A = this chain, B = another copy of it.
Amino acid sequence: MADMTPQEIDAFLAEVRLCHFATIDPSGHPRVRPMWYVWRDRELWTSTRLHRYTGTDVTAGSSVAISIASEDRPYKAVIIHGRPEILPKTEERLLEISTRYGERMGRAWTAEVMQEDDRVLYRVTPDRIYSWDYAKDD
């Protein structure tokens, strides 16, 4: 299997898929959950609530590993390692993330989560990117 080029990674991550977001919980066990994301300027943006689930892990200092894969052949996958920067939410960025998955649903979701006190944005600048493109194999 072959790596993707940075341009191919950009194109793959622009497609609409969930990412699977892994952290380490305070007791030292892994956690992982599916999340919406948007990839902009080689940074991955996603959103969560600080006091729930993986949010508490990131606040406690966990780095993250994020997996995005095509379900259909030829398989492609991108895995990103990094440490999220926790930023205040903005309606603009939440819409950018959510409306990728459907305009109407994204707008409804954004209106709802803008009311959540502990809703934040994560900006993940990759420390390391792994990629596979099985279509490149002979």
Contacts and interface: CB of A to CB of B under 8 A. Distances in A.
Contact of A67 (B33, B62, B105): B33
B73 A32 contact: no
Contact of A77 (B16, B33, B65): B33
B67 A20 contact: yes
Interface string A1-44: 00000000000000011101011100011111110000000000
A71 B23 contact: no
A66 interface: yes
Interface residues of A, number: 30
Interface in A70-104: 71, 73, 75, 77, 79, 81, 101-102
B65 A31 contact: yes
